[in-house]
Amino acid sequence: PQYILSTVNKGIKHIVKSYGAPEAVVLATYLFGLALMNRSKGFLTNIYTWADERAIEVVKEIKEHGVELYRRTGCPPIHIYALPKILWLRKHRKEVIYEADLYLDLKSILTNHFLHRAVTDMSSASGTYQMFNIYSLRWDDYALGVAGVDERMLPEVVEADYVEYIPLGIAAELNIYDKIPLVIGLFDGASMIYGLTGGGSNIAVVNLGTSAMIRTVIEKPIIDNINMMRFQTYYFYREKWLSGGAINNAGIALNTFIDILASGLEVDKQRLFNDLYNYRFNEDRKPLFLPLIYSERIPFLKTDIGGSIIGLKPDVKAIDIVASCIEGIAMLLKVIWEALEDNDISIDDVRIGGKLSSIPFVRVMLANLFNRKTIWTDIVDVSHLGNALLAATSLRYSSAKQIRDFIDYVIAKNFIIPEKKYVEKYRERYQIFKKYLYSLYSS
C-alpha cells in the first residue's frame, strides 16, 4: 500500500509541476482489493487483489451462506470478494486478524491517506466486500456476522459524487497551496460505464482489458435465479444499480496463450498482434477456444481444468487460434448477457472500451455476436473520462443533461451495425461454444 500511495503522490506532484495545481482530485480504483490495517501501527498486510486465489478453499466451506449473501449483496459465492479473503486470513493468519481494526478497499486506502479518514464510495463497497446490502445501502448485518467483522472496522460509505476538501497540510505535501476538493469517484468499471452512458439505461457496456466485463445500468436491484447466480448486481450511483458480470480470462488469458505460442514455437508475438489488426472472419479455418486458462469468477462453472481448443485442422494458423481466443472471451460475456435477458433486463445497444476494443475485427465480432449496434471510441481510457465527468457534475460545472449530450456527441459517433449473414454465423458458433462449455465445465 505504501508504494501505491507514494506513486500517487509523485503523480500528483508531476502534474502540479507540469500543468499547475488541478481544480480537483477524483479517485478511480479497481474492485476486490483488500488490505488490513491497525489504526496505531499502520498497514499489517499488502493488498490482496482479485488475482489471489487462496480464498477458493473458504468459499467451499461457507457454501451454506452463499444464497443468502447473494440475495442481500448481489454478490455470488466466489473467492474474489473481501469476505472470503477475511475468512481465509482468519484461518491462516490469525495474528493479523487479531491486530486489525480496519479492513480497507483500494478507495479507502487512498481516502485514509488524503483525508485521514477511511471513506469509500457505494459502488466500490458494493462490488468489493460482499458485505454491502444493495437494498438498504448499508453494511449488511448477516454478511458482517459471516465475516466476523464489526461495522466500525469498515470504511464510511458515501455516494460517488461526495466532495471533501483535502486538508491544507496534506495538500502542501503535494505542492498545492490552495483549497482543493477531493471527489470520491466510482470504481474503474463503473466510471467507464458513466463515461460511455452518462448513467443511461438499456445500454450494455463491454470492457475488454486484462479482465473483461459486461454490465448495464438498471433502475432497481435485480438478481438472478438463486440456483444459477449467473450475474452480479452492484449499487452504482444516485439510486441506480449495475447488473452484469466480469470474467478473469480476458487479456490476461490472451497474453498467456500468446506467450505459450511464442515460447514453444517460432512465433513472433509482435507480428501476431499486428496481424490481429488486419484479421477478417474466416469460418472455415477457425477453431473454438474456451479460454478458461485461469480460475474464473463464474460460480456455475468448474474452471480448474484449464482452457480447451476444439476443432484444430491442418490449415489452422496461429492467428486463427488467437482470434478464436478473443471470440471465446466475448462468448463468455454472452453467457452473462443471456442471463440478463432471462431476467427481463433489456439492452438496446452496446458500447465498448478497453485495449482489445481498438482492434477492428473485435468491434465487428461483438456487433454480430450480440446482434446490436455497437459503439466504440478512440478515447484510450474511458474510465478516467467517466470520473472526470462525474467530478464536473459534483462540482456543479455541468448538469447531468450536459454530460449526456457531451457523451452522445463525442462517444456515440463511431458505430458498427450487425450484418445478417454474420449474425447467423456467430449464433451458430455460440451455440456450439455453449454446448462444450456446459458439458466440460458445468459445476
How confident is the model at residue 338, as a pLDDT?
95
C-alpha distances out from residue 220 to 181, 205, 216, 224, Å: 31, 18, 12, 13
273 pLDDT higher than 80: no
Query: Which positions ≥6 away from 403 have C-beta within 8 Å?
Result: 198, 389, 392, 393
Cβ-contact 180, 211 below 8 angstroms: no
How confident is the model at residue 72, as a pLDDT?
97
282 pLDDT higher than 70: no
Q: Which of 83, 56, 92, 55 is nearest to 147 (CA)?
A: 83
314 pLDDT higher than 80: yes
Residue 8 phi, psi dihedral angles, 5° rounding: -60, -45
Q: Compute the distance between CA of residue 82 and CA of residue 259 in angstroms, rounded to an integer.
A: 31
How confident is the model at residue 264, as a pLDDT?
61
Cβ-contact 122, 154 below 8 angstroms: no
DSSP 359: S
Edge-to-edge, what's the strand order for the sheet holding 349-353? 232-235, 241-247, 212-218, 203-208, 349-353, 374-376, 415-416
Domains and CATH numbers, the chain: 2-183 (3.30.420.40), 188-443 (3.30.420.40)
Helix axis angle, 318-342 to 360-370, nearest 10°: 40
C-alpha distances out from residue 59 to 32, 65, 83, 294, Å: 15, 9, 9, 17
Mean pLDDT across 199-215: 92
Mean pLDDT across 248-267: 80
pLDDT class of 63 with cuts at 50, 70, 90: confident
How confident is the model at residue 94, as a pLDDT?
94
Cβ-contact 160, 185 below 8 angstroms: yes
**Average of per-residue pLDDT values in the chain:** 91
283 pLDDT higher than 70: no
pLDDT class of 442 with cuts at 50, 70, 90: confident
Residue 296 phi, psi dihedral angles, 5° rounding: -105, 160
Cβ-contact 354, 329 below 8 angstroms: no
96 pLDDT higher than 90: yes
Mean pLDDT across 335-350: 94
Residues facing 38 on adjacent strands: 42
Cβ-contact 103, 30 below 8 angstroms: no
